[in-house]
């Protein structure tokens, strides 16, 4: 545990070979994670600009800047980019890619070249989507509902759909890689119940990647086929069923909501345990709740379609199944609280983000119950209540968790510490700005303001102005980390191997890790969050005379 800046950081994966070629042709999972990080950050900014324009528009009831048509294209841009090019890949492809082999004690993922291919597929997907959006975009919303997307659209459906289709293959490649790696590449002694909970969460996410994404792919193929050849697939004029499109779409896209939250839950489990210096309460329940969220998540998609004209029988079945999924989610929340209870909590930035996550996720989850109930959904669906609900999960939840993870593993990834004070400030701003942005939207939705309209009645203005004000604070909370992370790359204090006194295998190698991850294959002989063993090892190390 030497704090010396150590000349051997030059041997870390970051600086070993600095040529552009070595980065673009790398099969090192850590470098691919950084390539992904750069790409999704770009998409996050693009999607964020879309959100900013939306909130600007809604400052005044008549709409401030955009025409109705442009407004539709703007929220479509925001949705498509944020969902498919940021939220779905976010934690798995960056932190997941970086951490899975390190946490397993492996040299790399099971299929390193497939991993690189997945990044190229993702970049191509992103470029296709951006091409479509800059040609003028489309007005279908991120859900591409037929027959608008097939028969009536004036926008550029094909390139965007093709991009989303490609990004699906990138997801499948990542999912295959994670599942096979976790099965096949665990270090000696790393049993399933010794895996960090992050890996359980990523495993569950990968199951969704592998088994739900292909259904999205085929759905988009059907859509593109109908749109391009002007034939009937979902066309009601021929007796086709537009609802069939929605069933196929949501078979993927509801589980995709869990793609967008499960990895975040994995991060929170790691962070909460570390900063309370306590094993996660009820490890096996948290582990299996990830698997059951992923499984039950496949059974509930019909709740997106309660008012779409589905049969009452189907709606009742889907409503009941939707309530089921709240059980494993609640298990997680209670177990995090159980972990914090009686712990010596350190309020560093990752922990602040994590606590924010728990609060926001709870609000998002509980409001989900309103939408899972048939009767209240009829009132609330297609209003800002829904917008607020899923932003509490995806932004309040996933983005908080992503930032928690970024701060937590930043020393490991870069070998540098971020400035703690600024980190705490950004975490506080995120929590405050987020609530100010989206809590008013619950009220707006409850009072009946519909989503996806460029204008609104004057009575809603106060809440909309509050929401837009919150969005500007939120923007600041996003820009701040960009700045100080960049600063810390050059000027940040050198990080030790294990700055947080955490237990995972990733903290047993140097910061940043060498290209081959570990000098020797690690052998695991204790449970995932065994702080007693860690403290004992630290005491033993401090009694030894220091190395020269």
Partner 1 sequence: MPDDLAPYDTPQHRDETAVAGMWLFLASEVLLFGGLFLVVLVYSHTRRAGWIMGVRHTNLIIGSINTLLLLTSSAMYTLAVVAARAGRARRIIAPALGAAGLGVAFLGLKSWEWHLEFSEHLFPGAGFSISGPDAGGAQLFYSFYFLSTALHGLHMLVGIGLILWVCYRMARRRGQPVPVIPVEVVGLYWSFVDLVWILLFPVLYLVGRV
Partner 2 sequence: MVRVMACWGALMVLFMGELAIATTGFGPGICAVAVLMGLVIVFGFMRITLAPPLAAIFALGSLFWLAILLSLGSLDSFTRTNFSVGDTLSSRTQNAVTARDRAP
Residue 255 sits in the site that holds partner 1 (CB under 8 A): no
Tell me if 438 sits within 8 A of 470, measured CB to CB. Answer: yes
Q: How far is the CB of 505 from partner 2 (least distance, A)?
A: 23
Using the minimum distance from each CB to partner 1, give the nearer residue, 210 or 493.
210
Distance CA 79, CA 438 (A): 16
Rg (CA), the chain: 23
Distance CA 404, CA 495 (A): 17
3: its two tokens: 């704090």
Distance CA 293, CA 208 (A): 10
Q: Measured between alpha carbons, how far is residue 403 from residues 1, 261, 310, 429, 462 in Å?
A: 26, 13, 39, 12, 30
Tell me if 153 sits within 8 A of 76, measured CB to CB. Answer: no
- Name the segment binding partner 1 (CB under 8 A); options: 173-181, 329-337, 354-362, 428-436: 173-181
Q: Which residue has tokens 């204790």?
A: 526
Residue 101 sits in the site that holds partner 1 (CB under 8 A): yes
- Name the segment binding partner 2 (CB under 8 A); options: 42-50, 245-253, 324-332, 354-362: 245-253
Residue 80 CA, distance from chain mean position: 14
239: its two tokens: 């007796």
Task: Please identify which residue in 172, 272, 380, 426 interacts with partner 1, judged by CB under 8 A.
Answer: 172
Instruction: List strand residue ranges (DSSP E) for 269-401, in order.
Output: none
The residue among 377, 365, 214, 208 whose CA lies nearest residue 298 is: 208
Q: How far is the CB of 110 from partner 1 (least distance, A)?
A: 5
Residue 110 sits in the site that holds partner 1 (CB under 8 A): yes
Q: Measured between alpha carbons, how far is residue 499 from residues 20, 207, 460, 487 in Å?
A: 30, 33, 48, 19
Q: Which residue has tokens 């969902």?
A: 83
Residues 6+ apart with CB under 8 A from 546: 2
Considering CB distances under 5 to 8 angstroms, the limit depending on partner class, which of partner 2, partner 1, none binds residue 148? Answer: none
The residue among 207, 237, 238, 233 whose CA lies nearest residue 219 is: 233
Residue 305 sits in the site that holds partner 1 (CB under 8 A): no
Considering CB distances under 5 to 8 angstroms, the limit depending on partner class, which of partner 2, partner 1, none binds residue 345? Answer: none
366: its two tokens: 């509980």
Q: How far is the CB of 247 from partner 2 (least distance, A)?
A: 5
Task: Please identify which residue in 86, 142, 283, 301 interacts with partner 2, judged by CB under 8 A.
Answer: 301
Residue 183 sits in the site that holds partner 2 (CB under 8 A): yes
Residue 466 sits in the site that holds partner 1 (CB under 8 A): no
Residue 318 sits in the site that holds partner 2 (CB under 8 A): yes
**Residue 526: half-sphere exposure toward Cβ, Cα within 13 Å:** 12
Tell me if 444 sits within 8 A of 387, measured CB to CB. Answer: no
Residue 225 sits in the site that holds partner 1 (CB under 8 A): yes
Residue 143 sits in the site that holds partner 1 (CB under 8 A): no
Task: Please identify which residue in 59, 185, 222, 299 interacts with partner 2, judged by CB under 8 A.
Answer: 299
Task: Please identify which residue in 237, 458, 490, 540 interacts with partner 1, judged by CB under 8 A.
Answer: 237
Task: Please identify which residue in 231, 479, 482, 537 interacts with partner 1, judged by CB under 8 A.
Answer: 231
Residue 178 sits in the site that holds partner 2 (CB under 8 A): no
Considering CB distances under 5 to 8 angstroms, the limit depending on partner class, which of partner 1, partner 2, none binds residue 222? Answer: partner 1
Distance CA 518, CA 230 (A): 56
Count of residues in contact with partner 1, rule CB under 8 A = 45
Residue 222 CA, distance from chain mean position: 27
Using the minimum distance from each CB to partner 1, give the nearer residue, 317 or 476.
317
Residue 314 sits in the site that holds partner 2 (CB under 8 A): yes
Residue 223 CA, distance from chain mean position: 26
Task: Please identify which residue in 205, 219, 468, 510 interacts with partner 1, judged by CB under 8 A.
Answer: 219
Helix (H, G, I), strand (E, B) or coil at 12: strand
- Name the segment binding partner 1 (CB under 8 A); options: 125-133, 217-225, 317-325, 431-439: 217-225
What are the helix (H) ranges across 60-111? Answer: 68-80, 90-91, 97-104
Distance CA 137, CA 217 (A): 20
Using the minimum distance from each CB to partner 2, give the nearer residue, 52 or 317.
317
Q: Which of residues 207-236 bind partner 2 (CB under 8 A)?
A: 207, 211, 215, 236
Considering CB distances under 5 to 8 angstroms, the limit depending on partner class, which of partner 1, partner 2, none binds residue 317? Answer: partner 2
DSSP-assigned states of every residue in 343-410: ------HHHHHHHHHHHHHHHHHHHHHHHHSHHHHHHHTTBHHHHHHHHIIIIIIIIHHHHHHHHHHH
Residue 514 sits in the site that holds partner 1 (CB under 8 A): no
Count of residues in contact with partner 2, rule CB under 8 A = 26
Residue 317 sits in the site that holds partner 1 (CB under 8 A): no
Task: Please identify which residue in 6, 180, 374, 493 interacts with partner 1, judged by CB under 8 A.
Answer: 180
Distance CA 162, CA 125 (A): 7
Using the minimum distance from each CB to partner 2, give the nearer residue, 297 or 440.
297
Residue 213 sits in the site that holds partner 1 (CB under 8 A): yes
Considering CB distances under 5 to 8 angstroms, the limit depending on partner class, which of partner 2, partner 1, none binds residue 448? Answer: none
Task: Give yes or no for a cis peptide into 147 (omega within 30° of 0).
Answer: yes
519: its two tokens: 């000098």
Interface residues with partner 2 (CB under 8 A) are: 183, 207, 211, 215, 236-237, 239, 241, 243-244, 247-248, 251, 298-299, 301-302, 305, 309-314, 317-318
Residue ranges that bind partner 1, judged by CB under 8 A: 101, 106-112, 172, 175-176, 179-180, 183-185, 210-215, 217-219, 221-222, 225-226, 229-233, 237-241, 244, 247-248, 251, 516, 521
């Amino acid at each position: 545990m030497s704090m010396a800046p150590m000349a051997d950081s030059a041997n870390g994966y970051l600086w070993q070979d600095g040529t552009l070629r070595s980065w673009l042709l790398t099969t090192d999972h850590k470098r691919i994670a950084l390539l992904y990080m750069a790409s999704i950050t770009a998409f996050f900014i693009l999607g964020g600009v879309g959100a900013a324009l939306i909130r600007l528009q809604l400052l005044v009831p008549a709409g401030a800047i955009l025409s109705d048509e442009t407004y539709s294209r703007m929220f479509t841009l925001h949705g498509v980019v944020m969902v498919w090019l940021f939220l779905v890949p976010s934690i798995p492809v960056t932190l997941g890619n970086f951490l899975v082999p390190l946490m397993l004690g492996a040299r790399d993922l099971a299929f390193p070249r497939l991993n690189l291919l997945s990044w190229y597929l993702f970049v191509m997907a992103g470029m296709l989507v951006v091409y479509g959006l800059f040609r003028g975009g489309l007005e279908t919303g991120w859900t591409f509902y037929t027959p608008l997307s097939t028969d009536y659209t004036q926008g550029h459906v094909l390139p965007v759909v093709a991009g989303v289709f490609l990004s699906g293959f990138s997801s499948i490649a990542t999912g295959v890689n994670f599942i096979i790696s976790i099965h096949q590449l665990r270090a000696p002694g790393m049993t399933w119940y010794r895996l960090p909970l992050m890996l359980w969460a990523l495993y569950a996410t990968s199951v969704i990647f592998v088994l739900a994404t292909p259904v999205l792919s085929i759905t988009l193929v059907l859509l593109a086929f109908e749109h391009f050849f002007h034939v009937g697939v979902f066309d009601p004029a021929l007796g086709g069923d537009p609802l069939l499109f929605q069933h196929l779409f949501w078979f993927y896209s509801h589980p995709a909501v869990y793609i967008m939250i499960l990895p975040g839950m994995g991060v929170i489990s790691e962070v909460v345990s570390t900063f309370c210096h306590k094993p996660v309460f009820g490890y096996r329940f948290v582990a299996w709740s990830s698997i059951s969220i992923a499984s039950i998540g496949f059974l509930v998609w019909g709740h997106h379609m309660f008012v779409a004209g589905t049969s009452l029988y189907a709606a009742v079945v889907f409503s009941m199944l939707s309530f089921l999924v709240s059980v494993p989610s609640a298990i997680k929340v209670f177990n995090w609280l159980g972990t914090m209870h009686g712990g010596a909590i350190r309020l560093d930035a990752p922990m602040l983000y994590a606590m924010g996550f728990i609060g926001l996720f709870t609000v998002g989850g509980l409001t989900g119950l309103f939408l899972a109930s048939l009767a209240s959904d009829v009132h609330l669906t297609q209003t800002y209540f829904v917008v607020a609900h899923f932003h509490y999960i995806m932004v309040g939840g996933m983005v908080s968790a992503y930032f928690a993870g970024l701060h937590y593993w930043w020393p490991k990834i870069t070998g540098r510490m971020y400035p703690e004070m600024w980190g705490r400030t950004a975490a506080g701003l995120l929590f405050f700005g987020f609530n100010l942005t989206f809590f008013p939207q619950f009220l707006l939705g409850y009072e009946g303001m519909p989503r996806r309209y460029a204008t609104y009645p004057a009575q809603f203005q106060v809440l909309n102005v509050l929401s837009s004000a919150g969005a500007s604070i939120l923007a600041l909370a996003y820009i701040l980390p960009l700045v100080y992370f960049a600063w810390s790359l050059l000027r940040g204090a050198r990080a030790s191997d294990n700055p947080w006194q955490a237990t995972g295998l990733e903290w047993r190698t140097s910061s940043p890790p060498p290209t081959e991850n570990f000098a020797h294959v690690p052998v695991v002989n204790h449970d995932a969050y065994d702080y007693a063993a860690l403290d004992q090892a630290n005491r033993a190390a401090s009694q030894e005379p220091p190395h020269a």
